[in-house]
Every structure is written in structure tokens, then in C-alpha cells.
Structure 1
Amino acid sequence: MRLNFYLLSTAVGGFTALASPSLAQTLRVASATVIVQEGTSSASVTVSLQNGNAAATTVEAVLVPALSTATAGTDFTYAAAQTLTFPAGSSASQTLTIPLADDAAAEATEYFTLRLQNSSNGTVASNASDVLVYIKDNDAQAPAQNRSLRLNFLGSYQNGTAGSNSAEIVAHDPSTQRLYVANSVGGKLDILSLANPAAITPVTSINLTSYGGINSVAVRNGVVACAVENVAPQSNGAVVFFDANGVFQKQVSVGAMPDMIAFSPDGRYLLTANEGEPSQDYSSDPEGSVSIIDFAGGLAGVTQASVSTLGFGSYNAQAASLRAAGIRLYGGTAASPSSVAQDLEPEYIAVSPDSRTAYVTLQENNAIAALDLQTKQFTSLRSLGYQDHRQAGFALDASDQAPDILLANWPIRGMRQPDALAAFQLPGSSATYLITANEGDAREYTALTEAVRLGSTGYVLDPTAFPNAALLKDTHVLGRLNVTNKLGDTDGDGDFDEIYAFGGRSFSVVDAASGTVVHDSGDLLERLTATDPTFGGIFNASNSTGAPVRKNRSDDKGPEPEGVTTAVLRDTVYAFVSLERMGGVAVFDLNDPAQPRLVQYVNNRSASSGSGDQGPEGIVFIPATNSPTGQPLVVLANEVSSTVSVYGVQLNGRVLANRPRGQQPEPLYIYPNPAQGGRVRLSRPVTGTLCNALGRPVRHLQRAAEIELAGLPAGLYLLRTDTGATSKLIVR
């Protein structure tokens, strides 16, 4: 061990005194962030000096406009740089006091930044020179809920033990009043009776592990179709058909990893979104695709020849132009990048009300594709665009470690990355709109992991674009936020000129014809859950089992809207959006697609324990005509808790058991049409009368899904249902 001794220039008591070398005089802010409530008279910033010596030390505290959303002179007073003076020999702290204003505007949390500079007889610590002062608004109110529609919780069914079972997707069959649940964790198709929505009972469970892994389920007129991925996930998957009791009927092959399955409204087509995810090392990377099964002849007519699987190979030569248009293409490895067809990963499908066009979300790619079901051709591939979180109405709570909810605007762009979507038309209009649940998702494989913490050393912010990079990387600012490392290096120099976060924390309304986003809900869902009198205490909690932890998803994708469905009640289109993390359903009036109105938020999750419904994913609306009670229902499949919950629908406090005057009946389709002998199928079970051209009844139907044609002469017939729907039938 080497010992160093230092001699003083004077002797004391006959001895030469020993001392340590002089230490540097260091100035630093006490904390990188300060949180203060608007309405407080001032904010206090503490600056400390360490190792003061015989001379006085000074330092300036200046305002940094580059990282401020609050306005000097309006929100706070800070006219010019202020100088702090530490007397000779001082090693104490001084407090900088900044007067605050109290305006009447409802706004996001604002902030301003101060920096220590121009010190004398001292050095400003490089990692403690800046302080960001949050001003929490005191005027913001909880978003108004007009409650024109009310969801009333009826009950929740425990679908096996959570953890070893799940309830991911749910489908309803009105012909049997059964629910069919995709239990992916348990590897089963669970069949439940909905005869009493307040007390669901089990019917049976079908083990599907011999077929592969179940991802989704759809049902129509007693035919149950399951989307099943191969035991070797990168190989082609299957659609496995069962009858209403779960008895196997047949199966056909579809593309790799079918993640979602749906019937078209007229029942003619059955479609699967085949995600085609790669293996962990990208040694196998199947193409994403959509499979179309011709179902016009019913299940009896389905063979492998009925399946058309459509990929995106025609876009392979357009990678550069697609990227320029905002579509994310980044899969594969440096040595073997994915083609466009491999990179596009279909997630979810919605079919237009006329059953002519399918709209397909490509979640990781932040895009939507349109597919003509008659020509079996993709007709468009469009980016869903990016949010600008600097704009009013697009604030976010970005840290799971900041002690308070801080919905603020930041220099971040949000990748909407929708999961589910639904197609709808306004009453009396033929224009089609889409509503997307902007959940967000990251690719995380051994060969490609794009999610990184903004504060990580490997994520370098461009010093010109972000001169306050060190402060942004603080864990109480943006340091904990998960961002992508595959987008944002605009000049290719290895650092990031733009920041892109996963998911929009919102829903969007899109004009289906043009692909234009006509509305994005922005920060509404976070404002809604933050101010909820019951669930604000678990704001942005995860859906994991155990006691909920407030804000532990703020650094990820917030509430993660995942499921969405729509319904027409009276003359209003309503949307029901499920929130995967916080739980529950938010309801919106969509009659003005550019300005949806919040109707209600409900949640059946415990705010103090790991009980109740957690992780809602699949959501279905059951109209009054298809409901076992005659009341419209909303059914949620809650993946984490493995529960199926049911809500009754009321309008203006009244139960809707029958169709009110002026409401358009659900469309009714007959196929094949024209028909010749045998039977025709109906797009849904109905009660009504089939009349000939003279108006004379020839058949009376009671919740029938088919019409027997034997004995009917050739001619024109009209089917009238008890709900007011009509459909023409030609018999040859």
C-alpha cells in the first residue's frame, strides 16, 4: 500500500501537520425533478455546494426553453438568469424560489427546465446541472361521461383456474345461446351456456393440443371454427371445425400462425389473419398472409380447395416507398433481412358491412391493408401514421418511477400499432369507417430485440436534436420509457434524432376509403383512468395477478387498448373499447366520427387485490334479437383472470328488449341466392315468415338458420322477420 503525505507550510506545536489534498468545489442541483401543484405560490429548487473553500463561489441558474412546455411570464416568473452566491468557506445549500401563476385553463402537466452554468470558484457537476420542474394542473376535470348508454355488470364466470387456463377470445352463437372460448393457455375450446347471462354454466371443454395451439374462435349457425397454429409455429396452421357440441367435423390448412378468425357479415367467407412470426433466431421467417375460406355452401361444401391464402409478395419490390410512406419494415438480421412479405404480420381482420372488403391490421408494421374479397387481391397498404406527443391532447405518463401521475407533452412520436379493429357505417350512410385499438407491440426475439429503455447507454440521443439528453434520460422524466431502436435515426449516424414509443394509448377512427385518420383519442384514455374515483388509484397498473401496482405500465404502453367492437342502438353507433392493462370497457358515441363522445367507463377489477376480471382481450356485442334475455349484452373474455364477464346494455336507464321505432334492423342475407332445390342458409337465425310474390305465407320460421325449399315453386319470395328485417329469395 502506498501512503501519500502532504506537508503544510506551517508547523503547529513543533510538529509538521499532515492534510489531504484540496477537494474540488462542486455545485449540483439536489434533484433532477421537482413536482409542484399549480396554485402553490412558488416552486423551490435546491442547489448545493460541496467542499467550499476560502473564496466565495457563484453560479448562474438559467431557463432552458428547449425543454419547457410552461411559459415564463404566464405560468411562472423567471425574467432573467439568477446568480447564487455561496460565501467563503460555505458548504451548505441555497434555495432558488420561482413564483408560480394560477391560471384557469385545464391543461396537461407543464414543466420548465433550469440549468446551472457560468460558475466561479466551483465546477458544476455534469450529471446534476439541470432540474426539471413539473407544474401539475389544478383545473383539469375528469372527462365527462354522458351516460346515454349504460353497461350494467351481470356476472363473471371463472373459466378454470387462472394461470393454467385463459379466456382470450369469445364467440357467441344465438342458435344455441352458447359461448365458445379460446383457452390458449389450457389448450382447449371451452363451451359455455349463456342461457342465464348472470349465471353462465359450463357445457364441455375440447382439448385441442393434438391439433396445435388455439388462438381464436368464431361461430355461425352452430358451426364452430377454431384458428389453430401448428405445433411447429412457423409451419402452416389450420382451421378446425366443430359442431355446436364440440364434435370434430373437419379441418383445412391456412397460413402460418393464424392469430384471428372471423366470418364475413353475410356468412359467405371465413377469414384468418396469419401472423407468420419468425423463429427466435430468424432462421425461419414465414410470410404473413390472410386465408379466405369460401363458406357459401356451408360447412358441407368446405374442402382444402375452398381455401385461398394470400400473401404480400407483390409488395416485395416496394420496400423503400413503403418505408417512406410510414410503414415499418425492419425484420430479419443484418445478414438476411426479411422481405416485405415476410415482414408484414396480419394481426386482426374486420369485414365491411357489405362483405366485400376485409381490413387487416399489421400491428408491428403500424399499417392497415385492404383486401377485396371478390377478386382476392390486396388493394391498399397504408400506414396508420404517428402521434406527436408534443401536441395538446396527446400527453402521456411516461415514467413508472415518478411518484405522481404526470400526463405531459414530450418530444416523442407514438406508433399507433393497432391490434383489433371494427368496421362500421353510420345509419343512412354507405361510407365505411374503421375504429382501431392502438395497443402497440414490439418484436422481441433472440436475433432482434427492438425495445430498449430511453435511458439506456446504448440508446444515444442526437446532441443537436436533444441538447437536454441527460435530463431526458432521468428515470423520473423519460429514462424508463420503452422505445424502439429500429426507427428515429434519420441521418444514419448511429444516434437517434427522433424518439418513437410503442402504441398510441388511444383509439383511432379511420376513413376506410382513403385511409385518413379522422380522429385519434390521444390522451383521453389515460385522463379517464387517472381521474376515475375507483380505479385512479391503480392508474396504468398491469394486468398481472396479485395486488395491482399503480403506474407500473406507464413506462410501456399505458392502458393498452386491445379489443373493440361496435353496435347500432336506435340511431346511434356505439364503440366498446377494452383496456388490456387497467381492465374494463370504455364506451363511445361514434355518430360524429371526427368527434366521438365518451359515454361510460366500467371495470370489474379489484382495486386492491388480484381478483376480478383482469386482462380483457376479446369483446363481442350481442344485439337484443340474438340475446337469450332480449336485452343487448356485451361479453368480455379476460385473458389473465381466465374469466368471462357479461354486461347488460341500457339506453337512458331503460332496458332495450325490443327494437325501438326508427332503429335499422340488422341486415339479413340468404345464400345461395338464387337457389335451386335443397336448402338455403340465413346469415343469422330469425323468427319470421316467408311469403310468395302474392304475399301469401309459405313458411313460418322459429329461430331458424335455414329454409327448406322442397315444395316451393320457382319464383320470387320475400322473407320478413319479427325484427323488421327483410330479404328477397329467388327460387329457380
Structure 2
Amino acid sequence: MPKNYSCLPSALLLLGLTVGAAQAQTISRTAATAIVNENAGSVSLSFSIQNPGATASTVEAVVQGISTAVAGQDFTFTSAQTITFPAGSTAAQTLTIPVLDDATVEETEYFTVRLQNPTNATLASGAAEMLVYIKDNDTSAPVPARNLTLSLLQSYQTATPFSGSTQINSAEIVAYDPSTKRLYVANSVGGKLDILNFTNPAAITAVASIDIKPYGGINSVAVRNGIVACALENTNPQANGSVVFFDQNGTFLKQVTVGAMPDMITFSPNGNYVLTANEGEPKADYTVDPEGSVSVVDVTGGVASLTQANVTTATFTSYNNQAVQLRAQGIRIYGGLASAPATVAQDLEPEYVAVSPDSRTAYITLQENNAIAVLDLATKQITAIRPVGYSDLRQPGRGIDASDQSGDVLIANWPIKGMRQPDAIAAFEVSGTPYLLTANEGDARDYSAFSEQVRLSGNSYVLDPTLFPNAALLKNNSVLGRLNVTNKTGDTDGDGDFDEIYAYGGRSFSIYNAASGAETYDSGNLLERITSTDATYGSVFNASNSFGEVPTRKNRSDDKGPEPEGVTTGQIGNNLYAFVSLERIGGVMVFNINNPASPVLESYVNNRSLTAGTGDLGPEGIVFVAAANSPTGQPLLILANEVSSTVAVYAIQSPVLATTSARTAAPLALYPNPAQGTTVHLSRPVSGTLTDLLGRPVRQLLAADHFETTGLGAGVYMLRATDGATSKLIVR
């Protein structure tokens, strides 16, 4: 019923109107952040007042709260300063703070200015703090050594990727067979195995496109000596998947059952085993949650005689009673519903497999769990689950660009832990020491019945007020508010708010000692520094890889940044290199890893449009081709680009020094050659690396005049001495 005020006395009505018109004076900052260059001399901060009164209003400004900049070193602010708003004036008032130009190489720093003790006014709720970023002017852009260069030979379109806004084809994983000079591409979206003629890498042609859907959904492909192995998930993804073997032309040979949702497949270096990482993701409503596992298919007897008896699936059930201990080590066990938590075996989700050069051990990334599992190939048993650790973003060299709305690239340190959550992994050796290389992409569980991903600014994500007194400022979208974080890790005292902030992905690559699991190296913010300062691709820094859309700079800064996705290694001359692909901004980075504790940037190449969503988008699969196995006689790098459904081929120009050394090196002979389960002798002692046809190290020699071939599968190998000499070995 409408209210009727006609009966109220006129004096009372007048009083009500007067009271309603008298509004309180409110002081606030005009913006949540300010950005200043270190050599600017000073920064001016603006503050405003609403509804100024007949009497002047004042407020104190102090430096208080989160800060990485230091008063007296980075800026001058010795005591509280009073800001005065004249009576009746709505003009903004300015506070000028001197900024000091030091000579220290550092990340973007910041300090907080807080308003307090207002007179004749109140402070606007949530608008009493301001963050001031100071951009360093002493940090130079990373300079590639350029001892080798990558030149694009071709970007081959395997199929039309999109129909309107719907993706209909992809090129997710690529495998190369030197014996047939063919590429095999897993087209997971189109449900096909695409076979390409790679005789001329600059002019790839199609051979066939095999419909895989009758067998299941293709996730990955591997090939060796004309045998193609595909990892296929079941039409019911939570049921057991399979490995399907084809010949070089795509003719069906065999099919065996493996664990649920095989996501990646590989041959062991000796060719004796085919391994799959069975991710075992739950159904979206969590009514079904299969166990993660790793399947080992013994193919020593040949594919023709293969049966299900040749398949061993290693599970994690023996760890089901160790959830508490695993969490204490930093391994994330957190899935399932509140009424039915996942067991450890259900929670662990194998993502990717790498096999040691001696084919004795497999290493499996457990991406969502932030861990690596170790599998003994002799016993087919999981022997360890190791945490990969978190990147402490408070530490120098570990900062990130955390907001898609900050307007500028601001790689800064924050009270955050980056969950590395590696995707791809590679195994290699240097001087007899085994190492692992990981691409720390990051990933979240996001299902209809269970989702851990939230924005830091979300109302449900409450920061502990004691540990984060500046929570309102941190939650601003120009600071950390847009950052995606997990709501399943960080409440250390169980009181419902978050005492630690955990974000997805390390935005880095890491190197670990394979024997102990100890961290040898982490690239920290190097990948973001390289891409943000790149003369060409800095303009699309942290841009997404959407097909057909103009790239938007920094629109992935609030997610996982460049998202390192794929890794591999390759020996060229005397040098060992790591190749790291970046899913979002695209392209690949190359690092010399002769010293695994101190990689050296060699090159960054990319092939995407700066103004349209074209070119190579979403690199995932990555393959190094050694010169001995290359159709061109020079090393190649192949990238499968999932979004654009393209295969990019780069020619690698070897260092001049290696070429010169090879010309002057003394001849090197191996005997007996061919060899069969015996000792191989060298015509002179050398140090060097014996690699398989894919360029993967299988033996490391140090001033050796002989080595054992035990454990090496039949095939062709190449010994590359550090003095440049090479010699081919045939093992029967």
C-alpha cells in the first residue's frame, strides 16, 4: 500500500528534507594504485573529498602496510603528513612523495600509503589505502647468447581448426619417426590420427588421416621404427582406456587396455616399453572418480604377439593410508566431495611421463597434486612420490605480473606461493648425473560438483585479518584481486580464512636431481621478463591464444601468465639444450643446460600474429630431431600447436665452434659394430654422449675407451664426442 505523508505537519516535513540534504564529508583516494618510474624524482598521489563542509577537513597520510620498497632507500617519507581540504572546496588534494633512484637491479617495488585520523570528515569504506608501484630502471632485458638460431621452415596446417567459434580440429601432440620420415599428429578435437610426409620439412604433405573415434578419444601419440602407439580414452572417460598400435600407414595392429583416461604415451629409450600416464579424472558431478595410474606395455616380443598379459598397470593404492604424511610434504591431496573425500589413489592424476636414458626408471608428473612419482621399470612399482615445491613469490627473482588490469607490466614480489604443478617433463644426464626438466604450467580442478578456483577478490575468499591487514587493497583488481587462486590450500589453522595465498603455476621451468628429487634450478620470473621485453612479442605479453581474435596484452596475467607447457632436450655438438614451449603467448625458448644449475638463454622464437588470432597458437607437443636423424642433415625442432592446428618446423643452426671442432677432431671408431649385448670399444678415449634416433641421451662417457650396451634396444645410435667427432653405432 502506498505511503501517505499528507497528514504530517509541514514543519516536520521541512526538518526531514533538511536532514536528508546534510551528507557527511567523505575522504578517499582517487585511484587504488599509482605507477612511477624509479628515476622520475617524485610521485604525486591524488585524494578527494565528497560533500565538503563549511569547515576545512584534514586527514593524515602514513606509509603503512604491505611493502617491498624501503623508506630512505627507494622513497622519502619520514613521518605522517597532513592533507587539508579547504572549506567548501571539492578540489582534489595532492601528496607528493620523493622517489629515490638507486643503482640496484630489482623487480618492481611498491609501498602502501594509508589515510588515518580524519577531522571534520570520515574515510570512505575500502578506499583509505593506495599502492604505489616503483618501476626499476636498472634491470636490463635478458640478452640471448645466440650461439644457435632457430629459423622457421614451415607452419603446416593439418586441418581447419574452427567452424565459427567451435573448434573442430587440433594438433596437440606430434611424434617423428626417422625410419619412415613421417610425422604423426594427435588430433584430439577431430578424433583423428594425422599422418604427414616429412621428407622435406619445408614442404610437408598429408599422407592420411585416420578416424580414431571407433577406438576411443585420442590424447597422445608416440612412434618408433614404424610402430605407432596411440593413447585413447574410453567413450566413457572414467572407464579404462587403451593403447592402439598402428603400422606406419595407419593400419590397425593391436589394442590393449590400460588405466582410465591415458593422457600421454611414450616409448622407453631402449624401445622395450610403451608407457601411459593415466590421469583418471573424475566425472564432473564426482559420482565416479577412477584411480590415477601408469601402465607399462612390454613390447619386447613385438606388437604382433602382444596380449593383455603384456600390460602392467601400476597404481597408487599402497599410499591410501598416507594422505596426512603426503600433505605434510607439500603434496596436494584434496579432491572429492565433503561427504566422500577422494582416496590418495583417486586424487593423484598422472599427467606426463619421462623415462631415464638407461630405461630403468620412469618419472611421472602429478600436475594437480604438485608432485612427481617415480616408477621402477624392473618391478613395475611406484617407489616414491615427491613434492616439487612451491615458488615463493616474495623472493628476489620470483615475482610475477599478477593483474590483467594494472595497465603496465609490473613484475613484483607478493606474499603468494606459486604452485608449480608441472605438465611436461624430460629426463637427461650431465656428466653421469641424472636430471629432470619440468614445465611448470599449473592447473585447477574445476567441475560442476567441485571447483577450487576463485578470484582473490571473491567474497568467499577471506584473508586472515591479522596476517593480511591490507586485505581490501590486495583484493583490488589493479593489485591482486583478479588473480586466480585455490580455495583448497592455505587455511593453515582451519578457522575458515586463508593464512597463505596459493596461485596456479610456477610460470617457470625447473630442473631437479632425478636421484634425490632436490631442486637444482628454477627459472623464476625469467620467462615473463623475456617475453615482456621482447622487441617483437612484448606487445602481446601474457596474451591468450584465442583463434581469430586480436591478442590482448596481459589478459592472462591474472591466470598463469605464459603457461610453460612442453619441454624437451637435445644434444647439438658439444652442447645440451633445453627447449621450453609457452602455451599462451606462444613460441619456444632455448637454454643451454651444460650446467643444469645455471642455464643460459640462447633464443626465443615465435610465429603468431600481433594483430589477429592467426599463426601458430597454443604450442603443446614438442620434438627435437638430431642432425643424424633429420631429413635435412641439420637439427630440427617441431612444435604441435593445439589451437591453430598447425605443425611448426624450425631449423636449428649449430654453433660454429662445434663445426670447426668436428673438422679438426681425430677420427673415432667403435667396435664391434654392429654390437649385440656386449662391450663396445672406442678407437681412442673420449668424453661425450651416446644418443638414440630422437637425440635423447642414453649413455654419458667421461674419458672412456669403452661402454656397455646392456639395456639398449635394437636400433641406430650416435656417439658425439665433446671434441666434435661423431660415430654411428648399430645395436642388434
Contact 2:445–2:452 under 8 Å retained in 1:
yes
Matched, 1:617 2:597: no
Indicate how the Cα distance of structure 1 residues 319 and 504 shifts in structure 2: closer, same or farther if over 3 A, else same: same
The 3-state SS of whatever aligns with 1:197 is coil
1:90-124 Cα shifts (integer Å, max 9, x gaps):
33321000011112222211111001001111111
CA contact (8 A) 1:150 1:653 kept: no
Matches of 2:186 and 2:374, distance apart in 1 = 26
Q: Distance in 1 between matches of 2:294 and 2:411?
A: 39
Matched, 1:592 2:591: no
Q: 1:482 to 1:664 in 2, by over 3 A?
A: farther
RMSD: 2.9
Q: Which moved more, 1:459-468 or 1:646-655?
A: 646-655
Contact 2:393 2:417 in 1 (8 A): yes
Report 1:124-203 matches (<5 A): 124-163=123-162, 164-203=168-207
Letter in 2 for 1:499: I
The corresponding residue for 2:83 is 84
User: For residues 140 and 668 of structure 1, do their structure 2 counterparts lie closer, same or farther at Cα, with a shift above 3 Å needed?
Assistant: farther
Instruction: Tell me which of 372, 378, 391 is aligned to 1:374.
Output: 378
d(CA) in 2 for partners of 1:341, 1:143: 42
Q: TM-score, normalised by structure 2?
A: 0.90
Give SS of 1:358's match.
strand
Distance in 2 of aligned mates of 1:594 and 1:720: 25
Mapped partners of 1:5, 1:313: distance in 2: 81
8 A Cα contact 2:393 2:400, kept in partner? yes
Structure 2 matches for 1:629-708, cutoff 5 A? 629-652=632-655, 661=665, 673=677
Gap change, CA 1:392 and 1:582, over 3 Å in 2: same
Cα deviations by residue, 1:198-228 (Å, 9 ceiling, x for unpaired): 1111000000011110000000000000000
1:553 is paired with a residue whose SS is: coil
Partners of 2:580 and 2:88 in 1: CA distance: 63
CA contact (8 A) 2:434 2:514 kept: yes
Q: Residue 67 of structure 1 aligns to a residue in which SS?
A: coil
670 and 299 in structure 1: CA distance in 2 versus 1, 3 angstrom threshold: farther
Q: Distance in 2 between matches of 1:134 and 1:352?
A: 46
C-alpha contact (below 8 Å) 1:633/1:647 kept by paired residues: yes
Distance 2:468 2:460 in 1: 16
Query: Which residue among 228, 232, 236 is the counterpart of 2:236?
Result: 232
Structure 1 stretches lacking a partner, 5+ long: 675-681, 687-703, 708-717
User: Aligned pair in 2 of structure 1 residues 631, 658: CA closer, same or farther (>3 Å)?
Assistant: farther
1:37 deviates by 1.7
2:675/2:731 contact within 8 Å kept: no
- 2:709 maps to none
Aligned residue for 2:529, secondary structure, equals helix
What SS does the corresponding residue of 2:337 show, helix, strand or coil? coil
Q: Which residue pairs with 1:109 in the alignment?
A: 108
Q: Tell me the alpha carbon deviations over residues 558-587 of structure 1, each in whole angstroms, 9 at most, x when there is no partner.
A: 000000000111222100000000000000
Task: Decide which moves more: 42-51 or 617-626.
Answer: 42-51
**Which residue of structure 1 aligns with residue 219 of structure 2?**
215
Q: Label 1:395 to 1:640 Cα distance change in 2 as closer, same or farther (>3 A).
A: same
CA contact (8 A) 1:349 1:358 kept: yes
SS in 2 for 1:216: strand
The alpha-carbon deviation at position 670 of structure 1 amounts to 9.0
Query: Is 2:572–2:635's contact at 8 Å kept on the other side of the alignment?
Result: no
SS in 2 for 1:475: coil
User: Residue 324 of structure 2 aligns with which residue?
Assistant: 320
1:496-531 alpha-carbon deviations (Å, 9 max, x no partner): 000000000000000011111111000000000000
Identify the range of structure 1 (51-60 vs 364-373) with the bigger mean alpha-carbon deviation.
51-60
> 1:196-595 maps to which residues of 2 (within 5 A)?
196-426=200-430, 429-545=431-547, 546-595=549-598
In 1, the alpha carbon distance for the partners of 2:672 and 2:243 equals: 26
Determine the structure 2 residue equivalent to 1:123: 122
Is the 1:8–1:19 Cα contact (8 Å) retained in structure 2? no
239 and 669 in structure 1: CA distance in 2 versus 1, 3 angstrom threshold: farther
CA gap of 1:273–1:20, structure 2 versus 1, over 3 A, is: closer
**In structure 2, distance between residues paired with 1:465 and 1:348:** 37
Using the TM superposition, give the Cα deviation of residue 727 of structure 1 relative to its aligned residue in structure 2, in angstroms: 5.9
Structure 1 position 87, deviation (Å): 2.8
Aligned to 1:61: 61
1:146-184: CA deviations, max 9, x gaps?
011211111110011012211000000011100000000
Moved more, 365-374 or 32-41: 32-41
Change (3 A) 1:399 1:5: farther
Alignment partners' CA distance in 2, 1:728 and 1:599? 34
Confirm or deny: 8 A CA contact 1:61 1:82 kept in the other structure.
yes
Residues 595/617 of structure 1: CA separation in 2 closer, same or farther (3 Å cut): same
Q: 1:8 to 1:36 in 2, by over 3 A?
A: farther
Compute the displacement of 1:9 (Å): 14
Deviates more, 1:91-100 or 1:167-176: 91-100
Structure-2 separation of matches of 1:591 and 1:638: 28
Whether contact under 8 Å (1:36, 1:133) holds in the other structure is yes
Change over 3 Å in CA distance of 1:289–1:145 after alignment to 2: same
Aligned equivalents of 2:476, 2:693: Cα separation in 1: 57
Match of 2:710 in 1: none
Scaled by the length of structure 1, what TM-score is found? 0.90
- Measured in 2, the distance between the counterparts of 1:223 and 1:501 equals 41
Contact 2:149 2:654 in 1 (8 A): yes
Task: Answer whether contact 2:624 2:694 (CA < 8 A) is retained.
Answer: no
Q: Check conservation: 1:241, 1:250, Cα contact below 8 A.
A: yes
Contact between 1:625 and 1:723, CA under 8 Å: does it hold in 2?
no
- 1:45 corresponds in structure 2 to 45
Determine the C-alpha separation between the residues in 2 that align with 1:463 and 1:404: 29
Distance in 2 between residues matched to 1:668 and 1:187, nearest whole Å:
46
Distance 1:84 1:665 in 2: 83
Q: Does structure 1 conserve the Cα–Cα contact (< 8 Å) formed by 2:573 and 2:654?
A: no
Shift of 1:139: 2.1
Q: Give the superposition deviation at 1:18.
A: 6.1
Deviation at 1:728, TM superposition (A): 6.5
Shift of 1:706: 7.0
How many Å separate the matches in 1 of 2:667 and 2:54? 86
Secondary structure of the residue aligned to 2:83 is strand
Q: How many residues align?
A: 688
Q: 8 Å contact 1:650–1:656 — kept in the other structure?
A: no
- Give the equivalent residue in structure 2 for 1:697: none
Percent identical pairs in the alignment equals: 62
Could you say which residue in structure 1 is the equivalent of 2:26? Answer: 26
Please state how far the C-alpha of 1:659 moved relative to its aligned partner: 6.9
Label 1:583 to 1:684 Cα distance change in 2 as closer, same or farther (>3 A): closer
Is the deviation greater in 317-326 or in 88-97? 88-97
